[in-house]
């Protein structure tokens, strides 16, 4: 389901559930931003009828009645749309409790704590520790970047943002005007996917390279939000995860653990250096530059040239 449609259905459902009297189509149109932007009355009517049918297929009981002005009105009574009591066995409750404890930082910590309290009421015993129930597993999603919370809220509210961003090949950060779509954690790092207004294209940004404060802008998005945002796939391709070639590099001993984890072969050279064979794909040159003097590219020649060019660009900056 498209993100925009899902948001529109949610807003319609909230309006119908939150009213104490039937609301006419005119009132609903004035209350939901997506309907105001629908254009002609015919376009709105078709959209509203489809949304109403979709909500009914999802199980929402919508009543059609006449209000005092003789107009047809709609509402969803809460007593007709109440969920049955939630029952959880010990394993289900422990698994949900474990998921709720993943978030221990920023604004999500409060929501996670509230979720745990609800799980207690739904069947998670006070003396059952989710960690113990799952072999002392303690999951954590690290969030150290100050940019995470403002970007999370901007993604939720669909607000464009401005921030200073330093690329791996640049000595100084540059301002970026971005319409944020989604945040994802991959290999211990957070990434933002969105529309880069200055470049007129989709881009992925690593949060640890954002410097300074993230500033919000009141304007609306100018580019459509895709139904599926493939952050991890994009980053994985940049890191050589989809590579079909191999690169040969020299790496200082006890340095570059992420490179060692990817290596398909490692040979000790002595004098504080090792030789590694690693997958070679798009973006590997930018990744290798991050390790600075700890890495020397041996093969292929084009990869070595790309890394040298990037290092020279940083030195000139």
Question: Would residue 106 count as lying in a domain?
Answer: yes
Residues 154 and 233 reside in one and the same domain: yes
Residue 45: CATH number of its domain: 1.10.10.10
Same domain (yes/no): 223, 296: no
Q: What average pLDDT score do residues 250-255 get?
A: 90
Beta strands in the chain (DSSP E): 23-24, 63-66, 72-75, 161-165, 174-186, 189-196, 201-206, 210-216, 245-252, 265-270, 273-280, 295-299
Q: Note the pLDDT of residue 268.
A: 92
Q: Within this chain, do residues 262 and 183 fall inside the same structural domain, yes or no?
A: no
Per-residue pLDDT reduced to its tens digit, 103-122: 555 455 555 556 556 555 55
Radius of gyration of the chain (CA): 26
pTM: 0.46
Asked whether residue 152 falls in the same domain as residue 232, the answer is yes
Average pLDDT over residues 79-92: 71
Instruction: Answer yes or no: is 139 within a domain.
Output: no
The CATH code of the domain that includes 225 is 2.30.30
**Residues 223, 157 within the same domain:** yes
Q: Does residue 143 belong to any structural domain of this protein?
A: no
293 lies in the same domain as 213? no
Q: Is residue 85 part of a domain?
A: no
* Residue ending a domain, choose from 171, 204, 237: 237
Region label for 39, one of left (φ > 0), alpha (ψ between -120 and 50) or beta (otherwise)? left
Measure the CA dihedral 172/178/184/188, to 10°: 10
Same domain, 70 and 27: yes
182 and 104 in a single domain? The answer is no
Q: Which of 206, 237, 268 is the last residue of a domain?
A: 237
Q: Do 140 and 102 form a contact (C-beta atoms < 8 A)?
A: yes
pLDDT, one tens digit per residue, over 197-247 is 999 988 889 888 899 899 988 778 888 888 777 777 776 665 555 666 889
Q: Give the model's confidence band at 295: pLDDT under 50 very low, under 70 low, under 90 confident, else very high.
A: very high
Sign of the dihedral through C-alpha 65, 66, 68, 71: positive
pLDDT in the model for residue 162: 95
Report if residue 233 sits inside a domain.
yes
| pLDDT, the chain, mean | 79
Q: Quick check: is 66 in a domain?
A: yes
| Cβ pair 50, 35 in contact under 8 A | no
| Residues 99, 40 share a domain | no
- Per-residue confidence (pLDDT) for residue 197, from 0 to 100: 93
Its sign, for the CA torsion 281, 286, 287, 292, is: positive
141, part of any domain: no
Domain hosting residue 162, numbered range:
148-237
CB neighbour class for 28 (10 Å; exposed up to 12, middle 13-18, buried from 19)? buried
pLDDT at 20: 84
160 band by pLDDT with thresholds 50, 70 and 90: very high
Residue 138 lies in a domain: no
For residue 137, name the pLDDT band (cuts at 50, 70, 90).
very low
Question: Do 273 and 304 have their domain in common?
Answer: yes
At residue 312 the predicted structure's pLDDT band, cuts being 50, 70 and 90, is confident
Total residue count of the chain as it appears in this document = 317
Give CA–CA dist 164/151, Å, rounded: 13
217 and 156 in one domain?
yes
Kindly state the percentage of the chain with pLDDT values over 90: 16
Angle at CA of residue 30, ends 24 and 32, nearest 5°:
100
Contact yes or no for 119/133 (Cβ under 8 A): no
- 75: which strand partners? 63
Total tally of structural domains belonging to the chain: 4
Q: What is the pLDDT of residue 311?
A: 82
> Does 24 share its domain with 49?
yes
């Amino acid at each position: 389901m498209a993100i925009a449609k899902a948001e529109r259905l949610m807003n319609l459902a909230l309006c119908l559930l939150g009213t104490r009297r039937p609301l006419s189509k005119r009132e609903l149109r004035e209350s939901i931003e997506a309907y105001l932007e629908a254009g002609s009355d015919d376009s709105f009517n078709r959209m509203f009828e489809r949304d109403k049918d979709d909500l009914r297929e999802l199980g929402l009981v919508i009543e059609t009645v006449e209000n005092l002005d003789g107009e047809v009105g709609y509402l969803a009574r809460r007593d007709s749309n109440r969920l049955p009591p939630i029952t959880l066995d010990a394993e289900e409750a422990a698994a949900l409790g474990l998921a709720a404890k993943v978030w221990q930082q920023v604004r999500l910590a409060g929501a996670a704590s509230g979720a745990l309290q609800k799980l207690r009421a739904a069947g998670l015993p006070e003396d059952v520790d989710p960690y113990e129930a799952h072999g002392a597993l303690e999951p954590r999603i690290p969030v150290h970047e100050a940019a995470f919370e403002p970007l999370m809220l901007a993604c939720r509210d669909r607000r464009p943002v401005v921030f200073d961003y330093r690329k791996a090949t640049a000595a100084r950060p540059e301002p970026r005007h971005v319409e944020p779509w989604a945040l994802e954690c991959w290999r211990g790092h957070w990434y933002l996917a969105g529309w880069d207004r200055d470049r007129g294209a989709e881009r992925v940004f690593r949060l640890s390279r954002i410097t300074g404060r993230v500033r919000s802008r009141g304007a609306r998005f100018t580019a459509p939000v895709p139904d599926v945002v493939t952050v991890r796939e994009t980053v994985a391709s940049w890191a050589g995860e989809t590579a079909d070639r191999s690169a040969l590099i020299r790496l200082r001993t006890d340095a570059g653990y992420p490179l060692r984890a990817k290596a398909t072969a490692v040979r000790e050279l002595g004098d504080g250096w090792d030789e590694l064979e690693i997958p070679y794909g798009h973006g590997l040159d930018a990744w290798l530059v991050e390790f600075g003097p700890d890495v020397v590219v041996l093969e292929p020649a084009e990869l070595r040239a790309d890394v040298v060019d990037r290092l020279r660009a940083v030195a000139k900056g």
